[in-house]
Each structure stands twice: as structure tokens, then as C-alpha cells.
Amino acid sequence: MSNSILASNSLFPIPCTERLSFEPAKVGLKTRTIALGRSLGVRRLRLKCNFSGKERTAKKQQQQRKSGEDAIDPVGFLSKVGISDRAFAQFLRERYKALKDRRFDLCSRFTDMNEASSGYEILGMHRHRQHRVDFMEWAPGSRYCALVGDFNGWSPTENSAREGYFGHDDFGYWFIILEDKLRDGEEPDEFYFQEYNYVDDYDKGDSVNVDELLQKIDDDYWEPEEKWYRNSRLEFVAKLYEEVFGPNGPQTMEELGEIPDAETRYRQWKEKQPSNSDTKKPCYEVIDHGKVYDIESVILDPVSKEKFRTKKPPLAYWIEMRKGRVAWLKKYFPSICHGSRYRVYFNTPNGALERVPAWATYVLPVADGEKSCAVHWEPPPEDAYKWKNIRPKIPKALHIYECHVGVSGVEAKVSSFNDFAIKVLPHIKEAGYNAIQLMGLVEHRDYSSVGYKVTNFFAVSSRYGTPDDFKRLVDEAHGHGLLVFLDIVHSYASADEQCGLSLFDGSNDCYFYSGKRGHHKHWGTRIFKYGDVDVLHFLLSNLKWWVVEYLIDGFNFHSLSSMMYTHNGFATFTGEMEEYCNQYIDKDAFIYLILANEMLHDVHPEIITIAEDTTFYPGLCEPISQGGLGFDYWVNVSVSQMWLWLLEDVPDHDWDMNKIVDVLVKNNQRSDKMLLYVENHIQSISGGKSFAEILLGKREEKIFDKDEMLSRGSSLLKMMKLITFTLSGSAYVNFMGNEFGHPYRIEFPLPSNNYSYAHAIRQWHLLMDGGIHSNLFNFDKDMMRLDESELILSKGPPNVYHVNDSLKVISYIKGAILFVFNFHPEMSYELYHIGVEEAGEYQIILNTDEGKYGGHGMLRGEEYLQRTLNKRVDGHRNCLALTLPRRSAQVYKLTRILRV
């Protein structure tokens, strides 16, 4: 085989004499462009090898077989949930067709979905395996692109990409190479393909003579005839001519005369070959198919063919030529140093612009009054963070601790990743939670936005620390057995034009919709153009980046209604199916969510995705193959809204027990995928009051009967938590501090408070005062332990059979556990009959009225064990005669069965 053909079909450079003739000074634009193509090709090959399309397809089919979802049915979940709306079914079918078209669009640009979600491998700034740094950015509306920063004196011309000089491709992706600089006295390499790997801590190339190594490659890889042919092609032709026609062969066409047919010539040549030849030349045979023309089919014999196939490129020797970090430091200094600030410079039809790169992984939103800038994060290998702990296994039921790193400290400042890891993570573990959900973590310029107006989607917020600091936090959380979820905001983006994506390349429709559709009607943010392939490439890659780079275990997709509807969810919903398939639906946004769930569960099968949607869209957690969106959990926000309404607007005597049960149990979604909370960050942060502030009041307030207020507040907080935690749903969320009834809401620094951080904190010292807050924390811990021991959340739907609105009593059974609540503000009951099916002895395993929880301790010791009475109550054959103090709840476990 021709050596040049072999080299051109390989993704790796293969040394040959022709290539060795090049000198570094002669290597120009064409050579660099070829090197770039090979670099991108190798990376794409690596992505394909990590998880090939066939492997993913086989894996997905296997998962579908396990779950009984072999057949794809775009409307399959409708009969399961009891929906028979014909218009909605037609919408699902049309959405599935659009999904197939979108997959085709992606795969026409990228090899497969794995590559379509791996843009961070190439875009942004990356160190190349040779001595250079590559930068790539998507800006289709720009006419000129350059990098400016500390490394080049902020010059817009020194490191640029423009037409004819690397430039951009047809899709608007710009490419810039930053060559590492030779130190004084150092000479360029003799071979342009010599690699100096910045991260390797070894230097095999220092002890290897390149000429001897290449000679060894020739001797071990090439056959003698192949090597001779490669070195002298004309000599091979002359020798072949002499072998066919003799030493004095014809010199002209007239002298040539008549040439025998190919088969005759071949047989004549074959007869001249020695029968017992030991030559290493390949053996050939002619297969005659009876063709009349002078062309025969010539194939390699099986032995030679197999010998050729077993040959491997000499990569083992090639690796020995690589020089590592020691040699790199001796010969080069980096084109852009670790910690250098930089921005990307565009020349657009509207003038020159400087922007923070969209794929930057570390950003300073405001630095010393200067413009925002990216920071090149490339710590030396010895300083880069090294992971210590593995991901925890998914628990049977999720107890999620929602937290904000910046407000997690006790001092009036922005708390850090390291502070959170040291001080807060042990508390979360002690409290019995098994997952944390981090909000406000992705870089944002406006701190008072709580982190929801994201500017830089691939960067952790620099307010809290460096990327390595965040890795340390995640690693520490995994060491405590805590999963780490990220509150991801892909439903909108900041409208900031300096460090955000708005008007990124000077055009109004680069990342976002143009016109009114591209602006959120109430929040002043931008809406992504979800139907654009390059925007999907950006968003899907962003999700995968957090999983691969930071080992994130799951995502809470924030405010889906903002992206799913063109009215951004600000409309009155009556529950009619027409509202879920009318002209206000953004079909492209739904397709993005489906692709995101598909990709995430492909990358990490144990990933958890949570849908935060206030409109209760049907099919959020149904399988994609059955017409759903593929989420693992959906958030039921109506429960928290119900509690807030009851606390603020309804007197205690008027609380409706049936309504409480209806809101907790009767939903139009699957309860086994439902995530519930009493209150989350919305009550504490978004301008309202936390429930503890409503019920307990502020300490400095003078209240006439403070003891009664504290008793009422403590009792209701415990009861609301317990019934929400146990009655419905399979996952539970608590916001940081609510586990001990934090009495103050959070106020971020704003003009209204003179930019004060005084209320952007958590008062952890309240846990040590031995009062109501430590009592509430004791109850919250025991409630979590109750689920760990009895697996209440994973036991399926409850049997609610006793709801007495006049007496304010609710009772239900989950598995073998009995729950009894007395919400009456004044009345306590003795010998209150609650029906049970199984006769036996029932033991109290949790009682909200105990003294260690801040209760009155009205139950005597002997009342903690109850034996059933042979009396039919609530449709059950037996009953318990219980003492029910006012505003209290009791949890009973069947410990002994009595057979009659």
C-alpha cells in the first residue's frame, strides 16, 4: 500500500521519510490547518469510542426491555393517567415527529448525540497536546475575532482569527491558536509533530534518540519490499519494467509490439517464480470470471491479507517521543498563563465589541471596577484538584437539603465553598438528609438575583471560590454520602450584554429569539432559541459539562413554565387540556427538554432530573418512549402555597381537613414521582416571610402571650412537616435553616437596605440555645430517621380513611405505619377511636408533643403502647382508643399481631 495513502487515511501522524524532510520553519498555514483537523478528528474519535452509538442504542433497548417499553408510542402515557383528549394526543404525535426531525438535524452536524453534547471538549480555551493553546468560539454575526487579555497587552490584532488566517467555518465557529513561546536560547524542534504534553509528569523523549527510534519503527513495521518501495518509487517502476521486458526492453510504442493478455502475462510471471521461495512478498492469485476484456480481478491471498490486518501503527514508539511537563517547562513558557484575564474581541457590522467568552469556565463579573473578564484556569498538574471519593448510590427516598452557599455563613459577607464544606456539610449529614441542591451557583453578575439571571453557564460563581474549590465541596459531599444536585437555569438567561450572552456577536438572534419572543415579559431576561442546532449544542453541552467536570448527580430544572409557554407561564390555568397544546406552547422548548433527559440518562444512568413546573404539565415524569418528557421527579408547588394561605388568611378553627388531604393526595401527576416541600427558598428569599417568621415572630417583637404563640408555632411547624413528609410523594425538600425554624428571612444586598449583608446569613448559633429552635431540629432529625428505618416515602400511596373536619382529625395508614393528626387549636381528646384492620399492639415511634420537641408531654408512658379493641370503626374490624392532645401528631407501628 502506498505510504502516502496510509498517512492520509490515518488520524495519527505516521513518520515517513517524506514527512521528515519538513523543517519547522517551512511548516506554514496548510500544515497547521491539517494539524487542527487531526486534533478535532482525534477528539471526535475519542468521544465516539467512549460511548459509541451502537453501545448506547443497545443499552437503551436493554433498559426499555426491563421497563416494558419496547414499542415507541407518542401517546402511550395518556391511557395510563386517564387522559382522553383528542387534540392533546394529536399535539403529542406532532411533537414526536418534530423530535425526530430535530434529532436528524443534530446528527447531520454531529456524529451522534454524545458529540452534540460534548462541545466543551473543543469550544472555549483548551491546551493542545502539542505546545499550544486552542480557542474556539461561536459568533456567526461577527466579521473578525481576536483574543485580548493580560497575555498580549489587550491587543485586538496580535491573536486573531479572520478570513484567510484560520478564520471561521460555515457555521460561524472561530478558531484561534496561541503558540507557546520558546525560551531564550532554545531552538525549534526538528520535527514539527513533536509533542510536549503540558500535563504529563514524565519525559520519555529525553532519553530517546529520534533517528534511532524512527529506524526502529521502519524495521518493525514495514516489510522489506514495502520499505524499499517507499524509499524509491521510480526505482521500483524501473525494476518492474526490466523484469517484464528484460534489460533491453522496448523504448517506444512501435518497439513494444503486441502485448499478451493479462492472464497470459501473469502465468508467465508465475512460472518464473521459485516454488519454494522464502520471499516476504505478498502472494497474489488471479480469479478469472470469464470476462472478454483484458481486466482480471486480483486479490490478496488469505495469509498475506491476515498478516496485513494484524499490523498496527507504531503508536507505542510514537508515545515514546512525547516529552512531558519537565521538558515543556525547560523549553517553553505558556502563551497564556494560569490566572490570566482575557476577553474575546469581535468586529461586527455595528462596531467593535468585547465580550466574556460564552464557554469560559471561570469568570470575574466585576473586577476592581473594570469590565467583566474571563480567567484562564489551567493550574499546574501538581496543584489541580484530585478526586478522592466516589459518587454515593441513589437512596430509596430523597431527602433534599436546598441551600445557597453565599448566605450559608454567620458573618455579614458572601460565604465561600470552603466555609460551606467545613461548616455546613457536617450539619446536613447530621440532620439526616442524603442530597443537597445548590442554587445560585452558576456565575451571575447580579448577586441580588439569587443566581437566577445567569451570565456564564459554564462557570461556577467566583464569589464563592475557584473551580477547584467547588470540586472540593462536591468531593466532600460525596464523602459524607450526600448527592449533589444543581439548580440549573436554562429557561432564561441574563440580559446583560457585557458578560452575558445577550447581543453576544452584535446580532439580536445569536442565542436568543429575536423580537418580543426573545424577552421574558416580566423578569427582563432573555429566552433561548431552542430550535437552533447551535443553541442546542450549547445547552446540552452545558448539562454534560457539570456532570463530567464536577461530578454533579442531578439537576433541578428551574421554572420550566418560563420556557414551555410563549406567555412565560403568566396566564390563568384552569386545568383544561387545551391549555397544554394551544398556540402558546413552545414546541422547541419541549423537544430540548426531551433531548436533555435522553442525553443525561445516557451519560450517567443514575442521574436525577427534577422538573419545576407550576402548571402541572401532563407527562413530565413519563418515559420518553411513551410520550413523556423523561424527568425523574416533578415538584408539587401547590402544597407550599396551601400552607401559606392557611397560615396567613385562614383562622385555625376554619382549617379544612378535607382540603389539606385533597391537595396532598389528589394530583393529576404520578405521586410516586412527586417531590414535596412545606417551604423552600421562595418563602425565605423572594420578599416574603419564612413560615417560622410568620408563626414564631421576631425575637425583638413584644407579644402579649408569647408562650402561647411559640407553642402554637412550634406545634404547627412540626405537624405541617410530618403530614407533608409522609402523606404523599416520594421525595422531600427543605431549605437551609428551616429544619430548625430560622426566624428571619433572607435579604440580599439591595439599594433598599443600603447593600447590607446583615440579613444574607443563617444564624446557626440558634441550634445551641437549647430552646425552641434546637427542639425543632431534634424533631426534624427524628422525622428523617423515621423514613430511614421504616422507608415510609417509598411505600406507595397511603390509605386515608379517617378525615373529621369538625374535630380536625386526620388518620391514614402507610404500610404497617399508622399516622394520626389532631389539628384542633383547643380540643384534646381521650379515647378517640381510630379504626385499624390488623388486631395487635401498636407502639408510638414518633410523637410531636414530646418535651424534647418542645411539646407539652401530655401522653403518659403506658399510653405509648396501645392494644386494639374488637370494635368496627372506619370500616375496619378493629380500632384503637387513643389520647390526642391538641395540635399534635402521633405515629404508631404495629409491633405484635394478635390472632383471634
**Which amino acid, residue 483?**
L
pLDDT band at residue 97 under the 50/70/90 scheme: very high
pLDDT band at residue 183 under the 50/70/90 scheme: very high
Query: Distance between CA atoms of 496 and 488, rounded to whole angstroms?
Result: 18
- Higher pLDDT: 502 or 8? It is 502
Question: So what's the pLDDT on residue 323?
Answer: 80
Q: Check: CB of residue 210 under 8 Å from CB of residue 321.
A: yes
Residue 281 has pLDDT above 60, yes or no: no
Find where cell 467512549 sits.
50
Minimum mean pLDDT among 56-65, 444-453, 523-532: which range?
56-65
Q: Check: CB of residue 731 under 8 Å from CB of residue 675.
A: yes
The span from the first CA to the last CA of the chain, in angstroms, equals: 90
Query: Distance between CA atoms of 546 and 554, rounded to whole angstroms?
Result: 9
Find where cell 529520534 sits.
210
Question: So what's the pLDDT on residue 16?
Answer: 34
Question: So what's the pLDDT on residue 44?
Answer: 38
| DSSP annotation string for 338-351 | TT-EEEEEEEETTE
Query: Distance between CA atoms of 459 and 15, rounded to whole angstroms?
Result: 40
Q: Check: CB of residue 445 under 8 Å from CB of residue 436.
A: no
- Asked whether the whole model's pTM tops 0.75, one would answer yes
pLDDT band at residue 307 under the 50/70/90 scheme: confident
Strands 351-355, 341-348: pairing is antiparallel
> What's domain 799-897's superfamily in CATH?
Golgi alpha-mannosidase II (2.60.40.1180)
Read off the pLDDT of residues 313-327 as tens digits, 9 standing for 90 and up.
776 776 677 788 888
**Closest by alpha carbon to 488, among 545, 537, 415?**
545
User: In sequence order, what are the residues at sequence separation of 6 or more whose Cβ sits closer than 8 angstroms to the Cβ of residue 104?
Assistant: none
Average pLDDT rounded to a whole number, residues 541-569: 96
Query: Distance between CA atoms of 580 and 668, rounded to whole angstroms?
Result: 13
- Higher pLDDT: 730 or 231? It is 730
Find where cell 379517617 sits.
802
For residue 619, with 0-12 CB atoms within 10 Å meaning exposed, 13-18 middle and 19 or more buried, which class applies? buried
Question: So what's the pLDDT on residue 24?
Answer: 33
How many Cβ atoms sit within 10 Å of the Cβ of residue 81? 13
Minimum mean pLDDT among 48-62, 106-120, 149-163: which range?
48-62
**Closest by alpha carbon to 878, among 821, 846, 840?**
840
User: In sequence order, what are the residues at sequence separation of 6 or more whose Cβ sits closer than 8 angstroms to the Cβ of residue 110?
Assistant: 116, 537
Find where cell 386494639 sits.
868
Catalytic residue numbers read 612
Question: So what's the pLDDT on residue 359?
Answer: 97
Domain boundaries along the sequence of the chain: 73-109+528-635, 117-184+305-384, 395-484, 638-791, 799-897
Question: So what's the pLDDT on residue 305?
Answer: 74
**Closest by alpha carbon to 135, among 376, 383, 297?**
376
Residue 590 has pLDDT above 70, yes or no: yes
Residue 654 has pLDDT above 70, yes or no: yes
Q: Check: CB of residue 385 under 8 Å from CB of residue 471.
A: yes
Residue 165 has pLDDT above 70, yes or no: no
What are the phi and psi torsion angles at 594 (to 5°)? -65, -45
- In the Cβ-directed half-sphere of 718, how many Cα atoms lie within 13 Å? 36
Positive or negative CA dihedral for 254, 255, 256, 260?
positive
Query: Distance between CA atoms of 95 and 624, rounded to whole angstroms?
Result: 12
Q: What are 651's three cell numbers?
A: 383562622
Average pLDDT rounded to a whole number, residues 70-80: 88
Query: Distance between CA atoms of 276 and 596, rounded to whole angstroms?
Result: 65
Topology at the third CATH level for domain 73-109+528-635: TIM Barrel (3.20.20)
**Closest by alpha carbon to 398, among 791, 680, 721?**
791
Query: Distance between CA atoms of 369 and 36, rounded to whole angstroms?
Result: 38
Q: Which CATH architecture has domain 395-484?
A: 2-Layer Sandwich (3.30)
pLDDT band at residue 605 under the 50/70/90 scheme: very high
Question: So what's the pLDDT on residue 304?
Answer: 72
Strand blocks (E) in 384-434:
398-404
Residue 529 has pLDDT above 60, yes or no: yes
Question: So what's the pLDDT on residue 42?
Answer: 37
Query: Distance between CA atoms of 453 and 494, rounded to whole angstroms?
Result: 4
Strands 633-635, 829-836: pairing is unpaired
Query: Distance between CA atoms of 282 and 307, rounded to whole angstroms?
Result: 9
**Closest by alpha carbon to 641, among 611, 602, 603, 686?**
686
The CA radius of gyration of the chain, in Å to the nearest whole number, is: 35
Alpha helices in 677-800 (DSSP H): 681-685, 691-696, 706-727, 772-790
Q: Check: CB of residue 400 under 8 Å from CB of residue 787.
A: no
DSSP state letter for 894: E
Question: So what's the pLDDT on residue 308?
Answer: 75
Q: What are 711's three cell numbers?
A: 407553642
Strands 483-488, 435-439: pairing is parallel
Query: Distance between CA atoms of 495 and 455, rounded to whole angstroms?
Result: 8
User: In sequence order, what are the residues at sequence separation of 6 or more whose Cβ sits closer than 8 angstroms to the Cβ of residue 209?
Assistant: none
Give the class (CATH, top level) of 117-184+305-384. Answer: mainly beta
Read off the pLDDT of residues 5-30 as tens digits, 9 standing for 90 and up.
333 333 233 333 333 233 333 333 33
Question: So what's the pLDDT on residue 36?
Answer: 41
Average pLDDT rounded to a whole number, residues 397-422: 95
Minimum mean pLDDT among 9-13, 30-34, 472-476: which range?
9-13
Same CATH fold, 117-184+305-384 and 73-109+528-635? no
Read off the pLDDT of residues 327-339 as tens digits, 9 standing for 90 and up.
888 889 999 999 9
**Closest by alpha carbon to 174, among 510, 482, 644?**
510
Most confident residue range from 69-73, 107-111, 164-168, 773-777: 773-777
Question: So what's the pLDDT on residue 131?
Answer: 86
| CA diameter of the chain | 127
Q: Check: CB of residue 779 under 8 Å from CB of residue 848.
A: yes
**Closest by alpha carbon to 374, among 548, 472, 540, 499?**
499
Q: Check: CB of residue 858 under 8 Å from CB of residue 885.
A: yes
Residue 35 has pLDDT above 80, yes or no: no
Minimum mean pLDDT among 112-121, 139-148, 184-193, 225-234: which range?
225-234
Residue 698 has pLDDT above 80, yes or no: no
Query: Distance between CA atoms of 430 and 819, rounded to whole angstroms?
Result: 25
Helix axis angle, 657-665 to 638-649, nearest 10°: 160
Ramachandran bin of 781, using left for φ above 0, alpha for ψ from -120 to 50, beta for the remaining angles: alpha
pLDDT band at residue 192 under the 50/70/90 scheme: low
Question: So what's the pLDDT on residue 101?
Answer: 95
Residue 39 has pLDDT above 50, yes or no: no
Helix axis angle, 706-727 to 638-649, nearest 10°: 160
**Which amino acid, residue 7?**
A
% of the chain at pLDDT higher than 70: 83
Q: Of 3.40.50.2300, 3.40.50.720, 3.20.20.80, 3.10.129.10, which CATH number belongs to 638-791? A: 3.20.20.80
DSSP state letter for 421: I
Interior/surface letters 656-670, b for 16+ CB within 10 angstroms, e for the rest:
ebeebbebbeebebb
Read off the pLDDT of residues 343-361 as tens digits, 9 standing for 90 and up.
999 999 889 999 999 999 9
Residue 895 has pLDDT above 80, yes or no: yes
Q: Check: CB of residue 738 under 8 Å from CB of residue 689.
A: no
> What's the mean per-residue pLDDT of the chain?
84
Residue 759 has pLDDT above 60, yes or no: yes
223 sits in which H/E element: none
**Closest by alpha carbon to 596, among 658, 647, 554?**
554
